[in-house]
Structure 1
Amino acid sequence: MSQNIESVCIIDDDSIYINLVSKIIELRKLSETVIVFNNGKEAMDFFQESLEKNEKPEVPQVIFLDINMPVMDGWEFLREFSKIKNKLSDKINLYVVSSSIDSRDIERAKSIDVVSDYLTKPIKIDDFERILE
């Protein structure tokens, strides 16, 4: 299986989920690099610093974003990320990943321009392969 995705970003505070997803990506050779942030603020700081340092910042092609996190949750991250996404890259696919099956959360996430789709935890290996190939 060839790597079509250079870099994947996981924004989530669940270390077990992060380890599992990272291991699936590594074992299936779905991406060269996995960048991990434990909350939205860490991720937003990274993206804003990338913008300040470079005209064309190095950004992941796929982002998996959890909704419920400390410091800055997924909704707050999406609000801030929406303001800077066009400066980063048009090639970023952002997936909201949550254990919430509340239709209000799903509709809210899908109504945000920068969101590619809403995925419910646990994500199936087939979903990773579909997204990352």
Structure 2
Amino acid sequence: MLELIMCIDDDPITLMLFKKVVQKASFAKEIINASNGQDAINLINEANNNPEKENKPKLIFLDLNMPVMGGWEFIDLFNSSNYFNLNNTKIVILTSTIDPDDIKKSKSYLNVIEFLPKPITVEMLDNLKTKI
């Protein structure tokens, strides 16, 4: 079981369902939610600037299509040198898009370990356990 994961998605129903499935699968002890890439970056910056918070997310579940800052923008910023201390954090793209170009693009990022369709299932999480 992972200590901390993050889910970045602008749909509150997806976030609620995600939390229930993660709990059912005993996949993580704690989940941080963000409604877009910018909110996620703000949460990560807050954790980085707080020395008492040693716990960083080990895995990020990321939607691609969101307002303010979408998934691709988030990945590009997250992979910048500002976040080198999180370079062990892996990303799972969890999206409703089926665009083959998105799947191909996701493979160009070393920290993206999976491209999954919504909604998440216990089986998907069990398969992820073998990759992390």
Q: Following superposition, which runs of at least 4 residues in structure 1 exceed 4 angstroms of deviation?
A: none
**Identity across the alignment (%):** 33
Can you give the 5+ residue segments of structure 1 that lack an aligned partner in the other structure? none
Residue 17 of structure 1 aligns with an amino acid whose one-letter code is T
Q: CA RMSD in A?
A: 1.9
Confirm or deny that 1:67 pairs with 2:64. yes
- Aligned counterparts, 1:39-54, within 5 A: 39-54=36-51
Contact 2:21–2:121 (8 Å) recurs in 1: no
Q: Decide which moves more: 14-23 or 79-88.
A: 79-88
Aligned length: 129
Tell me the equivalent position of 1:107: 104
Q: Secondary structure at the match of 2:79?
A: helix
CA distance in 1, matches of 2:58, 2:97: 24
Shift of 1:85: 3.9
Contact 1:31–1:132 (8 Å) recurs in 2: no
Can you give the 5+ residue segments of structure 2 that lack an aligned partner in the other structure? none
- Aligned counterparts, 1:25-40, within 5 A: 25-40=22-37
Shift in CA distance, 60/130, structure 1 to aligned 2, threshold 3 Å: same
* TM-score (normalised: structure 2): 0.87
Contact 2:25–2:122 (8 Å) recurs in 1: no
Shift in CA distance, 8/132, structure 1 to aligned 2, threshold 3 Å: farther
Residue 86 of structure 1 aligns with an amino acid whose one-letter code is F
Tell me the equivalent position of 1:94: 91
Confirm or deny that 1:76 pairs with 2:73. yes
